[in-house]
Amino acid sequence: MKKYKLLTAAALSIAMAAPLALTSTIAPAAGERYILVSHAPDSDSWWNTIKNGIALAGKQMGVSVEYRNPPTGDLADMARIIDQSAASKPNGIITTLADFDVLSGPIRNAVDQGINVIIMNSGTPEQTREVGALMFVGQPEYDAGLAAGLRAKGDGVKSFVCVNHVISNTVVAERCRGFADGLGIELGNSMLDSGQDPAEIKNRVLAYLSANPKTDAILTLGPTSADPTLLALEENGMAGDIYFGTFDLGDNIVKGIKSGVIQWGIDQQPFLQAYLPVVVLTNYDRYGVLPGNNINSGPGFVTKDGLTLVEKYAGEYR
């Protein structure tokens, strides 16, 4: 009994002391405040570049920035976070439009409360106009996939597998569709739902390739699926032999490009998707100036040539 009294006392004192510790972590609310809401689960490492991008922009522009995401990547939870961001009255919200049905309502409501919104990363220019956002900063996914497909066709690719680690994100799946159209073949069963776990991704790629040994090319949709795929190719000896293209960059992808295992990486330059909206919003709030159109942050092909800067900042700003 006595043991529990002690424990309770300790618990209560921690609970009471916590607010004090917490207050010191809150950034000073001087200047403008912008919130970036993403759709990515905590486990998606690609978004680290986004965090670094807004942090740098916040520092350079002298504004405070915050990053919010639904921990499990549930888009319904993300809608609540947008509602909540609007309720906290920031100067602007930067958000992705991963599912128009779910997110358009909350975004529209934020816009109507007088908050400036910029859509980044996922979404289309039409959807951006429809929700009343200022602009779209990102890479048109289907077009990027198509461009990659055309390039691969030129290199003699006839069949492929698309390793999709975010099967629920319809916009990202457009990359696979565009790639198939670029090659001039049906998507069919070429899209592999790999899940998020690296070991599972690796084993599913291995299983697919041993079941379909005639596959010409692999397309991965980000470091989350590319890194385990690299390991899988090393294990079954297909590294360097099979045509390998990937979306987005990361440490291992850059190494892969350098060693010739990966032919190219499509960089949509997430840094710009995070950095530019903060700069644009700040200038709009301070001086009323706004660029006249959407900004395409990608696509750009990163190949073996000119890897130095990419290599230096891979996973941080690239």
Partner 1 sequence: MTQAEQTLPESDERIKERSSFHKALIRPELGGVCGTILVFLFFFLTARDSGMFSPAGVLNWSIVSSQFIIIAVGACLLMIAGEFDLSVGSMIGFSGMSIALLSVTFGWPVWLAIITTFILCMGVGALNGWLVIKTGLPSFIVTLAFLFILRGLTIFAAISTTSKTIIGGIRDVAEGDWLAPFFGGKVLTGVFQWMGDEGWIEVYTRGIKKGQPVVEGIPMLMVWALVLVIFGHWLLTKTKFGNWIFAAGGDAQAARYVGVPVNRVKILMFMFTAFCACVFATAQVMEFGSAGADRGLLKEFEAIISVVIGGALLTGGYGSVIGAALGAIIFGVVQQGLFFAGVESSLFRVFLGVILLLAVILNTYIRRMITGEK
Contact between 31 and partner 1 by CB under 8 A: the answer reads: no
Q: Identify whether the C-beta of residue 166 lies closer than 8 Å to the C-beta of residue 47.
A: no
Phi first, then psi: give them for residue 80, nearest 5 degrees.
-65, -40
- Tokens, residue 268: 């949509």
Comparison of 151 and 177: residue with beta carbon closer to partner 1: 177
Q: What is the largest CA-CA distance in the chain?
A: 77
Closest CA to 224 of 243, 206, 205, 250: 250
Choose one: 13-21, 118-126, 237-245, 305-313; the region binding partner 1 (CB under 8 A): 13-21
The DSSP code sequence of 252-309 is HHHHHHHHTSSSEEEE--HHHHHHHHHHHHHHHHHH----SS-EE---EEE-STT-HH
Q: How many residues in the shown chain lie near partner 1 by CB under 8 A?
A: 53
Instruction: By CB under 8 A, name the one of 31, 45, 125, 132 that touches partner 1.
Output: 132
Instruction: By CB under 8 A, name the one of 44, 63, 65, 100 that touches partner 1.
Output: 100
Contact between 304 and partner 1 by CB under 8 A: the answer reads: no
Min dist CB 15 to partner 1, Å, is 6
Closest CA to 218 of 188, 198, 241: 241
Contact between 24 and partner 1 by CB under 8 A: the answer reads: no
Contact between 124 and partner 1 by CB under 8 A: the answer reads: no
Comparison of 36 and 233: residue with beta carbon closer to partner 1: 36
Rule CB under 8 A: which of 141-170 touch partner 1? Answer: 167-168, 170
Q: Which amino acid is at 27?
A: A
Min dist CB 228 to partner 1, Å, is 20
Comparison of 83 and 311: residue with beta carbon closer to partner 1: 83
Return the DSSP state at 84. H
Phi first, then psi: give them for residue 66, nearest 5 degrees.
-135, 145
Contact between 68 and partner 1 by CB under 8 A: the answer reads: yes
Return the DSSP state at 47. G
Min dist CB 3 to partner 1, Å, is 10
- Tokens, residue 188: 């069919």
Instruction: By CB under 8 A, name the one of 55, 111, 185, 279 that touches partner 1.
Output: 111
Min dist CB 105 to partner 1, Å, is 7
Contact between 7 and partner 1 by CB under 8 A: the answer reads: yes
Q: Identify whether the C-beta of residue 145 lies closer than 8 Å to the C-beta of residue 302.
A: no
- DSSP, collapsed to helix, strand or coil, labels residue 95 as strand
Q: Name the site residues for partner 1 (rule: CB under 8 A).
A: 1, 4-5, 7-8, 11, 14-15, 18-19, 22-23, 25-27, 42, 66-69, 71-76, 79-81, 83-89, 99-102, 105, 108-109, 111-114, 132, 167-168, 170, 173, 193
